[in-house]
Copies of this chain bind each other. A is one copy, B any other.
Amino acid sequence: MEIFTDIYLGDSKEKLQLLPDNSVDLIVTSPPYADQRKSTYGGIHPDKYVEWFLPISEQLLRVLKPTGTFILNIKEKVVAGERSTYVMELILAMRKQGWYWTEEFIWHKKNSYPGKWPNRFRDSWERLLQFNKDKKFHMYQEEVMVPMGDWAKNRLKNLSDTDKIRDNSKVGSGFGKNISNWLTRDKAFPTNVLHLATECNNKNHSAAFPEELPEWFIKLFTKQNDTVLDPFMGSGTTLKVASRMKRNSIGIDIVPEYYEMVKKHIKPVELYILEPKPKYEKSKPERSITVR
């Protein structure tokens, strides 16, 4: 079966209207955080954030299949010495809109940005909010299980070497207790805490979104030939991963540079899959590119 990748240049609120109802299995996205990434996205004032996002999430709710999932990566910034509350207000507003707030995963950023301030430490985690349209949704838990044979090793690997040094007293004792429960199994389920480093190599326009992040959720919530949507695709990390994993993907971005970059990169990705594909231009609005 063939996989498609559609990309759109424009405002998500508008472009999403071109998509049919109940057509997407998974939405994974990282919208511009309030007043951040000003140089590329213009910045949204914290007070206006909810108001700005709700029309988009309304469209997302429409295009998502009842069995689908929406993963929203976001973190509130510090405003005048305290954490801003717009993320909490957004969650409350989205629930009124009809979303279920199923779960909050934590992304522990092992290499968070350095800095020192008199009243706080470095921020090294972000929220990964899981929203659903229905209480019943597809979840393929066994796809993200971690090998059991070296369960302890894997758990330890999740923590950096320095963490191990820092926590040496408790690491061992914690395992001793539960290990007997697991000896008979060969795989273990993960938890709702993800330990990943941010991308820090010098690519052009490197994404702050490590590939492992969308990959994990794509494995967990979709199967092959399902459709993944990223309404703020940026450099296209989610789409790239989706293609590699044989999922259809749809991306939208308002920044022409990103749109062009993703457009250029779709081909190499297709070659990467090493499957012969017929050239074929789908009859779609000119802003949409389809690669088959």
Contact = CB atoms under 8 A, between A and B. Distances in A.
A125 B195 contact: no
Copies in the complex: 2
* Residue in A106, A111, A159, A210 whose Cβ sees the most chain B Cβ within 10 Å: A111
Given A83-B101, A174-B110, A147 B124 contact: no
A192 B110 contact: no
Interface residues of A, number: 72
B195 A163 contact: yes
Contacts of A125: 106, 191-193
Contact of A165 (B106, B118, B147, B167): B147
A279 interface: no
Nearest to A124: B191
A111 B188 CA distance: 13
A82 interface: yes
Given A108-B108, A166-B195, A170-B210, 6 more contacts: A81-B135, A114-B181, A116-B189, A121-B191, A150-B161, A167-B195
16 contacts: A82-B102, A82-B135, A85-B92, A106-B106, A110-B167, A110-B171, A113-B178, A120-B192, A122-B189, A122-B192, A123-B191, A123-B192, A124-B193, A147-B162, A149-B160, A163-B195
